[in-house]
Structure 1
Amino acid sequence: MPDAIFAHPRLAPVYDTFEGHRDDLPAYVDIVDELGARHVLDVGCGTGSLAVRLADRGRTVTGVDPAEASLRIARAKDPAGRVTWLHGDATTLPALAADLAVMTGNVAQVFLTDDDWARTLRGIRAALRPGGHFVFETRRPEHRTWEDWAEDTDPVTVTVPGIGTVERRFEVTDVRLPFVSFRCAYRFLTDGAVVTSASTLRFRDRDEVTASLTEGGYRVLDVRDAPDRPGREFVFVAECGGR
């Protein structure tokens, strides 16, 4: 079940405005070029920011997400229908023979159980061609970013085109490692409505992620720093083994 920020019909349209310019995405565009990927699968594509960028660069792109409200936003960014948008998750994918699968943002951390993560890895592997690549990021547990989140409690107010002024308040609600939970409350100033979105992320360390990839039939080629958040993220670059 996707979090409300992605799935609620009032929250999905405000996501892009709050998230800004997505400074994390240029690194993924560069990796697509580096690997020479022609067909890219964007797992947890959300509102389609990366998928549309890649389509603009002539790539064949498939975006999959379990939140229909987010996919509606994504489709509106792609009026020509260049991207194939799929409602579902990695376990429902057809055999695409994609060159590269990516997961940006917090997507890799929303799989809270070992079984859900393993099934996701299998689904992605089945959607890739033999020798295809899988690239994703995950936050370094040792950085303890939730402590920064807990201190940053000031409300953020933005004006969303077509919607009006919206205020967001953020709160860390529980820390029981490897799980960290938080809640965002969005107040729509036009009518006073408040809609909340609760989330939980799992923080896996480098060895745990590497072991899960190896068990899932991947070979880890590289573990990089995230250029936009140095020292805070692992960026895994893995290759899909033969079947």
Structure 2
Amino acid sequence: MTDDLFAHPRLAALYDVLEGERDDLDAYLAMAEEFGARRVLDIGCGTGTFALLLAARGIEVTGVEPALASLDVARAKAGAERVRWLHGDATSLPPMEVDLATMTANVAQAIVDPGDWAGTLDGAREALRPGGHLVFETRDPAYRAWEGWNRSASHSVRDGVESWVDVLDVSLPLVTFRWTYVFPDGETLTSDSTLRFREREEVEADLRAHGYTVEDVRDAPDRPGREFVFVAVR
């Protein structure tokens, strides 16, 4: 089930404003250049920010996203015609052969069901050319990021919309939380999310089990010491 933050039209339209500067994408752009990627699959592309950054560099991009409202936002952006947009997920991709597949931000952790996670790894591998790279990030459970997810730490007002987050349940490896949004017209919307906090060893074992070679596990430049960035090769 897709979170309302991405699936509700009013929240999807606001997503880019709420996220602000996406400095976290700089590392992915650098890796696309590092690996000489000319064809990229952006899994869980959301409102298309990363896909459009790649396309602006002349890279052939396919963005796949299960939330139609987010895809509608992406398709309405300047330069959207340069990207191939697909409604769905990595388990139902058409035939392709890309140099790089990515899952930025929370995408990998939002795939909480083991069967869906296995299907995503298989789908990404099938889409990659031999020697192609899969890159994604996941938070290090040892950092216990959820302990900072509360109203006092997260409250903000952007474009007149008040928002904050509260943790609903911690049953590791799953953490469930709720974002609340209060609009200037008085409407209040909420979006519940669950993330899976996988240990580094678990992710490496999953990758090997699905036919990848783990080439590197890097630190996230924008969140040093808090996340693992996995670089795997088909």
TM-score by length of 2: 0.97
Q: 1:35 to 1:182 in 2, by over 3 A?
A: same
> Partner residue of 2:8?
8
- Cα deviation per residue 1:15-45 (whole Å; 9 max; x = unaligned)? 1001001110011000000000000000000
1:220 to 187, 194, 214: 214
> Partner residue of 1:231?
225
> Partner residue of 2:161?
166
CA distance, structure 2, for counterparts of residue 157 and residue 95 of structure 1 = 43
Superposition pairs of residues 202-213 of structure 1, within 5 angstroms: 202-213=196-207
Number of aligned residue pairs: give it: 234
Shift of 1:169: 2.1
* Residue segments in structure 2 that go unaligned for 5+ positions in a row: none
CA distance, structure 2, for counterparts of residue 100 and residue 55 of structure 1 = 14
1:107 aligns with 2:101: no
- Cα deviation per residue 1:49-87 (whole Å; 9 max; x = unaligned)? 100000000100000000010011111124450000000
Confirm or deny: 8 A CA contact 1:95 1:128 kept in the other structure.
Answer: no
2:193 to 193, 199, 202: 199
After the TM superposition, which segments of 4 or more aligned residues of structure 1 sit over 2 Å from their partners?
150-155
Identity of aligned residues (%): 60
1:179 to 165, 174, 177: 174
Superposition pairs of residues 124-143 of structure 1, within 5 angstroms: 124-143=124-143
Q: 1:8 to 1:80 in 2, by over 3 A?
A: closer
Shift of 1:170: 1.1
- Secondary structure, aligned partner of 1:10: helix
Confirm or deny: 8 A CA contact 2:52 2:80 kept in the other structure.
Answer: no
TM-score by length of 1: 0.94
* Residue identity opposite 1:239 in structure 2: V
CA distance, structure 2, for counterparts of residue 131 and residue 74 of structure 1 = 30
* Residue identity opposite 1:194 in structure 2: T
CA distance, structure 1, for counterparts of residue 154 and residue 73 of structure 2 = 28
Shift of 1:152: 3.9
> Partner residue of 1:74?
74
CA RMSD of aligned residues (A): 1.1
**Higher-helix-fraction structure:** 2
* Residue identity opposite 1:201 in structure 2: L
CA distance, structure 1, for counterparts of residue 152 and residue 93 of structure 2 = 38
| Farther-moved stretch of structure 1 (137-146 vs 123-132) | 123-132
Q: 1:17 to 1:80 in 2, by over 3 A?
A: closer
* Residue identity opposite 1:208 in structure 2: E
| Farther-moved stretch of structure 1 (76-85 vs 209-218) | 76-85
CA distance, structure 1, for counterparts of residue 187 and residue 180 of structure 2 = 10
> Partner residue of 1:116?
116
- Cα deviation per residue 1:80-127 (whole Å; 9 max; x = unaligned)? 500000000000111210110000000000111221110110111111
Q: 1:229 to 1:154 in 2, by over 3 A?
A: closer
CA distance, structure 2, for counterparts of residue 152 and residue 29 of structure 1 = 33
- Secondary structure, aligned partner of 1:24: helix
- Secondary structure, aligned partner of 1:81: helix
Shift of 1:145: 0.5
